[in-house]
Structure 1
Amino acid sequence: MEKKKWIDISQPLTNEMAVWPGDTPFSFQLSYTKEQTGSVNIGQITTSVHSGTHIDAPFHFDHEGKKVHELDIDLYIGTARVIDVTGYESVGRAELEPFGIEGVPRLLLRTMTDRDLTVFPEKYTVLREDVGPYLKEKGVRLLGIDTPSVDPVDSKKMLAHHSLHENDVFILENIVLEKVEPGNYELIALPLAIEGADGSPVRAVIRPI
């Protein structure tokens, strides 16, 4: 029996990728070439920790919250379910109830079927404040979404972030699900062990169960 293949659901980190308005653009370049060193090429990157596919540590929006190096890595490895909620301006309890997510530890939301990753979206699906209590009730510990944030771009109160955090649900943002079928998967989306950080880019992959 052929083993099912891993599917990459992370955004490629490129110099052309869109980033949050006003945030540090991603940049990769060679600091030294093999011709210069005589042996190897050596690259360097400049980036926000929220570039592309990334996790938010609670410290991102709560000064007393855990930082990346303090997070439980088991959150980011294990079974997950992809569901399709395209067509909604916002998602909360009412939109999630029909899917029967009882006992699903990691939930990945597909909200769009097409996206230009070089352009920051003018509009995207956000989460409502009632999402946190509902996910906790169902046993969800990690919520992934294919948008730049769970809150609107101009939000200062960060209601969805706080709702999730207050209910022990962690956040994975900017995954790529447009070609992924709804269903059950294994997920690996490990953050880098960045000491003191408020977030981290991840290489997120899933494999059908």
Structure 2
Amino acid sequence: MKALNIPRGVRRVLFRTSNTDRKLMWKKEFDTSYVGFMKDGAKWLVENTDIKLVGVPTHHVFLERREVNLLEGLKLDGVPAGIYSVHCLPLRLIGADGSPTRCILIK
């Protein structure tokens, strides 16, 4: 994580992993070979950056810190690495701890 050189002030990060290239998000059944965060990598991000939103498969370390929001199931096919503004539009659901969300990237 340290090698990514995420500068202070960056508050949202979307991680494109091989899950996208393998089209795991398009499968109807859960594939246990998905790529996720190791606990130490997630902990490093929480402790050493200003990130408040992470787009990845979920991880308990992120969930322990209530101020870090998670976006799961991102389909980033054809999205090159770069700096984007991300806008997320969740459905307002009463009594839910999550929501389907439409996310828009603007370069």
Relative to the length of structure 2, the TM-score reads 0.80
Question: What is the percentage of aligned positions where both structures have the same residue?
Answer: 30
Q: Which amino acid aligns with 2:11?
A: P
Distance 1:135 1:122, change over 3 A: closer
Q: Which amino acid aligns with 2:93?
A: I
Rg larger in 1 or in 2?
A: 1
Deviation at 1:122, TM superposition (A): 4.1
Tell me which residue corresponds to 2:90.
191
Q: Which runs of 5+ in 1 are unaligned?
A: 1-95, 151-159
Tell me which residue corresponds to 2:99.
200
Tell me which residue corresponds to 2:41.
131
Tell me which residue corresponds to 2:2.
97
Q: Please give the per-residue CA displacement for 1:127-147, whole angstroms capped at 9, x wherever unaligned.
A: 1222343223211111102xx
Q: Which amino acid aligns with 2:5?
A: G
For 1:97 and 1:180, the matched residues in 2 are separated by 23
Deviation at 1:191, TM superposition (A): 1.4
RMSD between superposed Cα atoms in Å? 1.8
- 1:188·1:206 contact (CA, 8 Å) conserved in 2? yes
For 1:102 and 1:172, the matched residues in 2 are separated by 21
Matched, 1:144 2:42: no
Q: Please give the per-residue CA displacement for 1:79-110, whole angstroms capped at 9, x wherever unaligned.
A: xxxxxxxxxxxxxxxxx221111222101011
Relative to the length of structure 1, the TM-score reads 0.44
Tell me which residue corresponds to 1:180.
79
Query: Secondary structure at 1:119's aligned position in 2?
Result: coil
Tell me which residue corresponds to 1:165.
63
Q: Please give the per-residue CA displacement for 1:30-67, whole angstroms capped at 9, x wherever unaligned.
A: xxxxxxxxxxxxxxxxxxxxxxxxxxxxxxxxxxxxxx
Distance 1:122 1:135, change over 3 A: closer
Question: Which structure has greater helix proportion?
Answer: 2
For 2:51 and 2:102, the matched residues in 1 are separated by 21
Q: Which amino acid aligns with 2:52?
A: R
Question: Which structure has greater strand proportion?
Answer: 1
For 2:92 and 2:81, the matched residues in 1 are separated by 30
When the two structures are aligned, how many residues end up with a matched partner?
A: 100
Q: Relative contact order (alpha carbons < 8 A, sep ≥ 6): 1 or 2 greater?
A: 1
Q: Please give the per-residue CA displacement for 1:147-186, whole angstroms capped at 9, x wherever unaligned.
A: xx32xxxxxxxxx32x113333221100111311111001
